[in-house]
Structure formats: structure tokens, C-alpha cells
Structure 1
Amino acid sequence: MNQITTITFFKYKGIFNKFWALRMMGLMPLRLKSIAGQSFYRLMGSGQNKFKPWPNWSVYALLQVWDNEASADLFFAESNVIDKFKSKSEHHYTLFLKNISAKGSWIGKNPFQRSTSLDPNQNKIAVITRATIKWNKLFRFWNYVPISRKDLVHNKGLLYTQGIGTIPFLQMATFSLWKDKEALLEFAYKQPHHAKAITKTKKLNWYREELFSRFQPFKSLGNWSDEGLTDF
């Protein structure tokens, strides 16, 4: 398939720009909805210190799924929508992704189609997870998050990670970038705290809806070097 996915991070500085970014969470989807060549999108906020549920008013993310790379290139080169986001932000960074696999659903559907043009020489792997937490599981879920994330601290295979979402506490997602598949699997299934979190997820049935997807990064725009993301 020719479908590709992009995720763009924006960092805002100053109270007026941060307030503008917050307003756009309600206003900009009306314009994003009509973007040509785009089949799915989500404009999301972020959590403090990467994964805490309290909002980080400085960082926002725009996830988009495109029919093809040409449609994405045209948007980032010519759209006044993305120009507006960039003009208000201090830093911005877009990562282009090809889907490797995706399991589950996001608002009732799986928006990601497996790519048929993966590069066997690209080892880096990106992961996007998404979940809607059940109301009666919220306290237990967020109480366990700090424990499940302990294995991320000083993890040499992790290049970048950020908690994102549309509704604080309830609808959350994560983005992470790993040096290779082995580093990801090591964290997911062999590190004790995260492995226990997977077991708890199955046992306690925390989620009303969830999705787990892996991607191959192949191109980038902008600069996020202070956070560890570099050019592709």
C-alpha cells in the first residue's frame, strides 16, 4: 500500500502562544477535516514529564494518515494550516512513517494499512499505542503507570518517547522511537515492570478500546534535536 503516516510535534513558548495552541484543539479540527489526501487525523495534547496525566501546555502533536506520500508532501509544503502551527511554535518536527503492523481500533476503526515498501536496511522502529480507559479503572490505571514506566529510565534502546492524547486521563496515546526491533521487544516483554503491566492489562481489562501499531520511519522535517530526535 502507498499509505503513509506522519506525526508532528510542536513546542510552544510564552503564555499567548500556549493559549493559542490550546484554542486550536477545539477550532483547528474543522479545517483539518477537509485536508485533501488525508484519511485520518488526531490533534492531541501531551502529558507532563512524558507520561503524567496532567497536561503539558507546551507540547502538542498532530497525527495524520495519508493516501500517499505526495499528499503529505503537498500539505507540509503549501498548506496554510501547517504554516499557522509552525509560525506560533518555537520548535516543530515531523516524522514520516510506513506501517509495519497495527492491531486494535481507534474510534471504532484501524486507520493504519501495512506498507508494501518497507526498507530492510532501516532498523529504527516507531510505536504508537492508543487506549480509551474505562471510567471505573482510571484510578488503578494511573496509579500503576509510574511503576510500568520504570524500565524506560536510562533505557539505551529508547531514542524518544512522549505521552499524548485527546482527553486528559481518559483517552491517551504514546509515541516512542527505538533504535531497533530487538530493543523494543526487550522492553516490552523482558523488562519486569512493563511485562507485569501487560499481564495486568489482560487481567484487569483496563481499556474500552486499544490499538498497538509499529512503523518504520523514513523521512523527517523540522528540528527536535534538544529532545533527541534527529534527521532521517
Structure 2
Amino acid sequence: MPTDPPRSPGAPALVTLDVWTVPPRRVAGALWRMAADRPALARTPGARFSKLMGTGSGRTFTVRDADPRRWALLVAWAEADDADRFERSATVQAWRRLAAERLQVRLAPLTSRGRWSGAEPFGGRRRDAHEGPVASITRARLHPARAASFWRSVPPVSQQLHGVPGLRCALGIGEAPLGYQGTFSLWESTDALRAFAHRTSAHRDVVRRTPREGWYAEELFARFAVLDVRGTLDGRTP
């Protein structure tokens, strides 16, 4: 088990990402839960920030990517015990009844910059070294007039991402089918993540173009230490 990194001021004690996969006959039930669970999450003790999201392949960040069988819940917890108590909640029990498969990744924030819905959910910028698996979350709210240009830039990055050594899994995540784009990726090490970010030509090109194109009305980039991976995704534990 990796050692928990020291917490920076304002950072949550724990971040969890749950990915629930439901059979086709239960997609309608999952859609209902996406609406019904929001008020309950807002009242959940210790849940400082939460997002219910759809998922997809992340290959184009358009509705073509969406996977109606797979749904995600991201929560930043004040204390790890709050996340443990949430496992007994009506929300988790309802998803367990719906889902055929569940993956949960438990994370500790390492670095974060930017905002999500006006908040800084993972604390501020930090430079802690970390040995072991890491995860990355990116999230952006697109300027509608510039979305088409952004979407054209995505396929080359996605193609290179899925061929990079050290990638354990990657998903597109988003709060809405269009305009609210994000990714979650799990890596063997910080070096593997940095190799993709700094050495792949398509990703470097997008990074260079971002200030000039002005794609984002709001953006966030965060890196995490992976504390635990529970369950499966597509029949395996990444």
C-alpha cells in the first residue's frame, strides 16, 4: 500500500472516483440515479466536492464517445472515514443493485491548478515527489464558439495516449454531453505520465495552442497519488 503523501493546505484527505457499469436494461435506472443522487450528495457528511458524470472513450469528446452503460462519481472527502461511511449510504446501495461492475480508485492530491465550477476542489499547487502509481484528472468548460476547433484537435492526442507505455486505463468524463470535457487516466508512475505530457507530439501541440486558441472558459489539471484500486473495469483491475 503506498504511503499517503502529506496534505497541502486546503486539500481533501481523500478523493474517490467510482465507475459503475450497468447492463443495457438498467441504463434508464442509471439516468434516474444521476438526477436523484445530486441532492443526497450535497447533504453527505464530509463530501466537500462531488460530481456525478457520464463517461466515454475520450477519443473525440463529442456525443459519439458517450457510453450510456458507464457512469462515474467523483468525491473529495474531508476525511477518509467519511468515504468509508458513505459505503453504507442509500446512494451506494442503489448503484450496487444497478451495476454489473464497479471500479473505485482512492487518491491523494499531489498537484492541482485551475478551477472546477468555480472551486479548487483538490487544494493548490504542490511539487511533492511520489513513488508509485499516479492518476491525472483534466477538466475544461469550453467556449461554445471555439468548441469545434478543440474537437478537431482531440483525435491525434487520443490516438497517441492509448499507445503510451505505462498507461493503465483512461476514460473521458463529463457533466454534460457537450462543452464540459474531462479525462481520467491511471499511470504506472509519474515518469510515464510526464513522458506522455511532454514527449508526445500531439499533446505538446495542444498545450502550445491552448493560450492562442482560447478554447476554455474554465480549466483544471490535477495529479494524484494512487492509494488503492478496488474492483474492475472491463473485467480487470487496472
TM-score scaled by length of structure 2: 0.88
Q: Does 1:104 align with 2:110?
A: no
CA contact (8 A) 1:97 1:219 kept: yes
SS at match of 1:167: coil
Aligned to 1:4: 14
1:51 corresponds in structure 2 to 59
Whole-angstrom distance in 1 between the partners of 2:49 and 2:120: 10
Shift of 1:154: 2.1
Which of 81, 89, 100 in structure 2 is aligned with 1:70? Answer: 81
Match of 1:88 in 2: 98
Contact kept in structure 2, 1:160 and 1:227, CA below 8 Å: no
2:131 maps to 1:125 = no
CA distance in 2, matches of 1:10, 1:200: 34
Q: State how far apart, in whole Å, the 2-side matches of 1:119 and 1:142 are.
A: 33
Worse-matched range after superposition: 145-154 or 3-12: 145-154
In the TM superposition, what is the alpha-carbon distance from 1:182 to its structure 2 partner? 1.0
Deviations 1:146-198 (A, max 9, x none): 02222113212111000010111211111001111111111111111111011
User: How do 1:1-232 and structure 2 match up within 5 A?
Assistant: 1=7, 3-15=13-25, 17-47=26-56, 49-52=57-60, 53-54=62-63, 55-76=66-87, 78-113=88-123, 120=130, 122-224=131-233, 226=235, 229=238
1:109 CA drift (Å): 1.4
Number of residue-to-residue matches in the alignment: 224
Quote the offset at 1:114 in angstroms.
6.3
Unaligned runs of 5+ in 1: none
Contact kept, 8 Å, 1:131 with 1:210, in 2: the verdict is yes
Q: Quick one: structure 1 residues 223 and 119, their matched pair in 2 at CA, closer, same or farther if it must change by over 3 Å?
A: farther
- Larger mean CA deviation between 80-89 and 21-30 belongs to 21-30
How far, CA to CA, are the matches of 1:158 and 1:137 in structure 2? Answer: 29
Any idea what SS the aligned residue of 1:140 has? helix
Aligned-residue offset at 1:56: 1.2
Unmatched 5+ residue regions in structure 2? Answer: 1-6
Question: What do you get for the CA RMSD once the two structures are aligned?
Answer: 2.0
CA contact (8 A) 2:113 2:125 kept: no
Change (3 A) 1:95 1:114: farther
Residues 46 and 60, structure 1, Cα contact 8 Å, conserved in 2? yes
Q: Offset at 1:228?
A: 5.0
Equivalent-residue separation in structure 2 for 1:226 and 1:51 (angstroms): 21
* Aligned-partner Cα distance in 1 for 2:237–2:145: 36
Matched residues in 2 for 1:34 and 1:115: separation? 28
Q: Distance in 1 between matches of 2:152 and 2:235?
A: 30
